[in-house]
Amino acid sequence: MHTMLIFVQLLTDFRQLHKVYMNKNKVLEQRVEALQKMEENAAHRQHLKGKLTARERINILFDEGTFFEFDAFVSPSQTPQSSRPTNFGDGVVVGRGLVQGRSVFAYAQDFTVLGGSLGYAHGMKIAKVQEMAFKLGAPIVGLMDSGGARIQEGVKSLAAYAKIFRNNVRSSGIIPQISAILGPAAGGAVYSPALTDFIFMTNQTSYMFVTGPDVVREVLNEEIDMEGLGGGNVHAQKSGVAHFVSDDEEHTLLLIRKLLSYIPSNNYETLPVSNLVRVYNSRQEYLNKIIPEDTNRPYDIKEIINIIVDKDSFFEVHEKFAQNIVVGFARLNGKSIGIVANQPKVMAGTLDINASVKGARFVRFCDAFNIPLLILEDVPGFLPGIEQEHNGIIRNGAKLLYAFCEATVPKITVIIRKAYGGAYIVMSSKNTGGDFNFAWPTAEIAVMGPAGAIKIVNKHELSKSDNKAELEKILADKYKEDVANPYRAEELGLIDEVIIPSKTREILITAYEILSNKQYTKPARKHGSIPL
């Protein structure tokens, strides 16, 4: 009898526990259903605008089925309890997934939840995923689509932004940070992407500005729309804020995957290596005749880059901004390198303010993540002019000089044609710390070009000549032979070797192999003072 009573009691307890368990399961099911309903509504609203949802973006970015989301049910900190089920996640999806098998963290703002505005809970979710990426040594990707700070939460939303900015700075140079602007980013929202390493934008659907068109109209009485003020093309071509701009979100997200394939997960990890090495063997000989006989005629430096590096591996950065200098990643014998090259097709390859800043930023990123640098030099000097001087070409040109001098990664310079004056020094010359400096036979290394040099050196002789044009040609040719030729620099030990252009690729592969174990001693200082 006693045993029967115990059994009945146990059965009763089990039924109660089962009921509680089923009720809890039902709550979980209801929450998942609410989340799915939110996603369906979001898809409809976003697709009408030609945009993807936060989770659709995540699914394109990561390898299929690898994304692990957390904090999916976090609710806005100041939303009434009754309305919380419609705002699960507080307008941002966060988590970790794999990109080509490598761990990457991400957050994607959801514009359909409170306009993607950043409240305290929203900001803390982003801060949490930033800190996890930092702790675990993995890249972080931010997919931005937000109306900015949540006004209703006041200073709490500003405090959340501040924490995100601080995490951006703490992670800088330790893990790669990538931002994709896939909707609006205004006011304080623009400064987190500005602190990251690379910014992607899309045409027509993404905008960045500190103050919008309405404020510009009211304060300055200037009429401009969102695209004209802060659209993708504006920031890719004029301001230089955006490194990449695409026509649609899918292409943008695939470009992020491609970028990640060139860079390490953190500043201690070795560089990714591709086992697929394809070479333009048939085009190597073409390098021997690619440089025009007329030294003032342009050519496309990208053609040289694409012949030297592994086939189809050149991935240009900042393509539309400051086109007189070309920067980007490539693979050489399967290994990642960073390339900085003067572009004779644009402004004769001179260095101006924008080119100097563009180059300096790229050099510093490569140095932070131990990516070897290849410098292809054809520079006649710094761009002259009142506008350049008044806007600080001295200060800004010094940024590129500082970046090359500071960089401790393997640095190899190949002088293709012109290498004149201060610009020659800035482009990683031997005495600024270049590890190997090679030159093609077409190189001209001097304080200035022959035409300008003879007018100073031979001024008295030219003033007395009856046939000035003919004498100028004779003197210029003599100057090239005696002073501005690579063999003179080679004899002085200021370049390592004059090389046959068609042998450039194999020489570079050997040189980087020699430098693969390059050691350096970090100076005992907090940090240097770059001329910002």
Active site residues: 187-188, 422-423
- Best CA proximity match to 150, nearest among 125, 120, 107, 183: 120
Q: How far apart are CA 39 and CA 168, in angstroms?
A: 29
Confirm if 97 and 59 have CB atoms less than 8 A apart.
no
The beta strands (E) that lie in 259-364 are given as 315-317, 325-332, 335-342
- Best CA proximity match to 410, nearest among 427, 434, 376, 431: 434
Phi, psi of 270 (to 5 degrees): -70, 160
- Best CA proximity match to 142, nearest among 87, 104, 188, 173: 104
Q: Are strands 92-99 and 68-70 parallel, antiparallel or unpaired?
A: antiparallel
To the nearest 10°, the Cα dihedral for 121, 123, 125, 130? -160
Confirm if 433 and 410 have CB atoms less than 8 A apart.
no
Confirm if 502 and 284 have CB atoms less than 8 A apart.
yes
To the nearest 10°, the Cα dihedral for 173, 397, 420, 509? 10
